[in-house]
Amino acid sequence: MLADAIRSEAYRFGKNRMTVFWSLLFIPVLFAIGGVIYHLVTKARTAEMATKLNLPATMGLEPVNLAGDLMNGAGAAANGAILVFMLVAAATLYAGDYRWETWRLITARNSRINLVLGKLITFALLAVVAMVLFMVAGILFGVSQAIVFERPLSFSFEAGEPGKIALLVGLSWVRIIQYAMVALLTAAITRSLLATLFVPVVLGFAQSLIGGPGLPLLGWAPTDWAAQLTLPGLAFDTLKAAVMAEPAAPPAPDGLALKAAVSLTLWTLVPLALALAWFQRQDLSKE
Amino acid sequence: MTAVIETRDLTKTYGTVRALDGLSLSIPRGGVYGVLGPNGAGKSTLFRILLGLIKPTSGSASVMGGAVGDIAAGRRMGSMIETPRYPPYMTARQVLEWLSIAHGLKSDSQRIDRWLDRVGLTEASNRRVRGFSVGMLQRLGVAAALITEPELIILDEPTSGMDPPGIQEMRALIRSLADTDGITVILASHQLLEVQRVCDRVAIMNRGKLVREGSVTELTATGERLRLSLTPMAQALSVLGDKGTIEGNAILAAIPRAEAPALLRALIGQGIDIDEARWVGADLESVFMTETGSIQTPETIHAR
């Protein structure tokens, strides 16, 4: 039954080519193409500078390490652009049945819990796809760098890096899902596709303002409970920094990772619980 | 005869409005069952409760022997409530594939082709539904209700937006679903002639209550009335009391045949000129109009 809900959501999503493009493909394609342009411009500027300074035009021939690009891709897989464009997928999945008045076609044959979980799990799988595509784009960035600058390619991890990549991937995945939980709650309450798209953007923007100039105004330190609980983005950055920290780096304050983990968990589970409770008693004939 | 749908004291209120008011109804398995009622009678509310879209305020309802919301029972039912809508980027075939998957079936192109053919959408099967007319959406809605090959389907205004040939085709399809496929069809429609032609039994609802239920033959047979063309009508209505109703330029007298001679004598005795008197069988429309209070009565005439 849950499997039916997941398969049907995945099928329907796959037929919506515009949404597939904007939510999954746009950012990786932009990043890969942008990488090629960036390398070409950099090479031209470097050659120009070399001519002006009467230096040899040859670049260093050290290899481009694709493992490093993979690591960077994993660390940036929940960047702001991915989060915003994944909202297109979230809005389509979570608010599509309100928008197209299709709840009535599927509610009699599956439980409401299964229908919502089917959407959530489909989104979680799409988040994996989006992250993989972004990491592939990160590797293409490195490959294009090697081609443009005629440098050799290598793929070598330093000690502990595979584990860090796995942690970063998991953390980024949680962050994408957590951010889209606000969309789920918005969809259930407002029944509006546009609101589902924009409320999380506005909330995220407001949180980024609080996390920037807002913190000193509020008298909060980034390590405070209040800051961590209010700003899931800050909590994500905190955990990411903990994963990426070099052994020689100064230790983070005691309990900071716990605060960040609690924040991300609450920002994931509370909107989910509220959305489920709301949806269970919702009149689905009004769409 | 086993019931596919049973409701007991089913009530649904929206604020102070009682959309359903203690409705007790039993719909038998087999055939085509019509649910009639004026706007606001509670038909759509009843269907929405049966589909689990809304919860009743009180009372109970069962579908295919299971309580409303019972998934196993729900899987034996298909429905089309009002004009259906679909994701506009999907083709008709994709809609049926999607619903097949959502309902736990393997995508079966032969089954999809068969239902597309039966609702007359074969040629439009690969067109996106954003370009569909209301009538085409209705046809696709019927196919979507049938794609799981249910034992029971609920069709709410299935011919709305269709042209006359389309209405005729839909009527034939509904009859064949009951007669050939053995599916119990519950049909709500405002087109009373259509209901009379296609339904075996009918429930008439008004203001959230069941006001009449029975086979179409029973309902129309019991409505035989004496049609009187006479003047003055107001005086005749006072003689007839609550047995007389206005229909156009005539009065319909709901009396047994045995009382007709005495009535005619009484009318003539009052100085009323009778141009014509003949017995007419009731059609569903007149039964509906009488039962739902949509017809002119002596009280409404005198009140003018």
The closest CB to that of B71, out of A105, A111, A285, belongs to A111
How far from the centroid of its chain's Cα atoms is residue A75's Cα?
10
Unique residue bearing structure tokens 């203690």: B22
The residue of chain A with its CA nearest to that of B146 is A105
pLDDT at A41: 94
Mutate to test the interface with B, among A9, A93, A105 (most CBs of B within 10 A): A105
Structural domains of chain B, with CATH: 3-215 (3.40.50.300), 221-303 (3.30.70)
Q: Judge whether residue B110 has pLDDT over 80.
A: yes
Q: Kindly determine whether residue A107 and residue B89, on different chains, have CB atoms separated by under 8 Å.
A: no
Cβ-Cβ pairs closer than 8 A, A with B, add up to 80
Give pLDDT tens digits for B204-217: 888 899 988 888 87
B90 to chain A, closest Cα gap in Å = 7
A223 to chain B, closest Cα gap in Å = 46
At residue B26, the 3 state secondary structure works out as strand
Give pLDDT tens digits for B74-90: 788 888 887 788 999 99
Mutate to test the interface with B, among A6, A7, A12, A119 (most CBs of B within 10 A): A12
Q: Kindly determine whether residue A107 and residue B99, on different chains, have CB atoms separated by under 8 Å.
A: no
Cα B220 from Cα B242, distance rounded (Å): 19
For residue A104, list chain B residues with Cβ-Cβ distance below 8 A. Answer: 51, 53, 79, 81, 84
Give pLDDT tens digits for A75-85: 888 888 999 99
Give pLDDT tens digits for A137-176: 999 999 998 998 888 888 888 878 888 889 999 999 999 9
Give pLDDT tens digits for B146-200: 998 899 999 988 888 788 888 888 888 899 999 999 999 999 987 777 888 899 9
The verdict on ipTM greater than 0.90 is: no
Q: Judge whether residue B303 has pLDDT over 50.
A: no
Strands B184-188 and B32-36, sheet pairing: parallel
Mutate to test the interface with A, among B12, B79, B98, B151 (most CBs of A within 10 A): B98
As a whole number, mean pLDDT of residues B105-113 equals 86
Q: Kindly determine whether residue A285 and residue B52, on different chains, have CB atoms separated by under 8 Å.
A: no
The residue of chain A with its CA nearest to that of B72 is A109
Give residue B248's region: left, alpha or beta (phi > 0; psi -120 to 50).
Answer: left
The residue of chain A with its CA nearest to that of B101 is A8
The closest CB to that of A16, out of B54, B87, B148, belongs to B87
The closest CB to that of A15, out of B44, B90, B104, belongs to B90
Give pLDDT tens digits for A107-144: 877 889 999 999 999 999 999 999 999 999 999 999 99
User: Mean pLDDT of all residues in chain B?
Assistant: 86
pLDDT at A11: 95
Q: How many CB atoms lie within 10 A of CB A60?
A: 6
Higher pLDDT: A12 or A53? It is A12
Cα A161 from Cα A68, distance rounded (Å): 9
Give pLDDT tens digits for A203-260: 999 999 998 888 888 888 888 999 999 999 999 999 999 888 877 777 777 789 999 9
pLDDT at B296: 45
Contact B43, B69 (CB under 8 A): no
A17 to chain B, closest Cα gap in Å = 8
At residue B47, the 3 state secondary structure works out as helix
If pLDDT is split at 50, 70 and 90, which confidence band does B1 have?
Answer: low
